[in-house]
Amino acid sequence: MFQKTRIILLAVSLVAVFTLLLGCTPPTPSPTPTSPDDIDRARDLAIAKANDAGNTVPTNITNWTRETIPAAMPGGTTTVKYHGISNGDWYIDISYTTGLALEYTDYDVKIQFDGMPAIWTGTITYEELYPIVY
């Protein structure tokens, strides 16, 4: 009789433990801020270079919309199109070849304002994005 009671008590305890474990969910991690990806960095560096070249491209646009047009095949060209508003519509197109190691990726950039011809075009290299500091 004592043996039977111990088995029943063990079974009830195991069921209780499993019920508690199934009911517990791990805490949801708080979101960590993410750093801008290389394409966003290329956009920001292109804006700085355009301004250094005597153009007036706003640096205060914080809400860029972003559309990615993927390459049709590996090794093809992916284009990322940005649109931002500051006293009119600004457009930045960034094209790059997919499938390359990051250190071999160059970003071709075109900046336009309100449908006018490009006010700045240029290439942003990996070395410009991540300069080596000695």
Cβ neighbours around 112 below 10 Å, total: 16
Is residue 101 in some structural domain? yes
How far is 99 from 105, CA to CA, in rounded Å?
9
Is residue 59 in some structural domain? yes
Q: Which domain covers residue 79, as residue numbers?
A: 38-129
Q: Provide the pLDDT for residue 1.
A: 61
Q: What is the pLDDT of residues 101-130, one digit of tens each?
A: 888 899 999 999 997 889 999 999 999 998
Q: What is the pLDDT of residues 39-96, one digit of tens each?
A: 999 999 999 999 999 999 999 998 999 999 999 988 899 999 999 999 999 999 999 9
Is residue 94 in some structural domain? yes
Whether the pTM exceeds 0.75: the reply is no
Is residue 79 in some structural domain? yes
Helices (H), the chain: 2-23, 38-52, 126-129
Residue with tokens 């019920």: 19
Cβ proximity of 78 and 95 under 8 Å: yes
Is residue 28 in some structural domain? no
Reduced to 3 states, what is the DSSP secondary structure of residue 91?
strand
- Considering its fold, how many domains does the chain have in total? 1
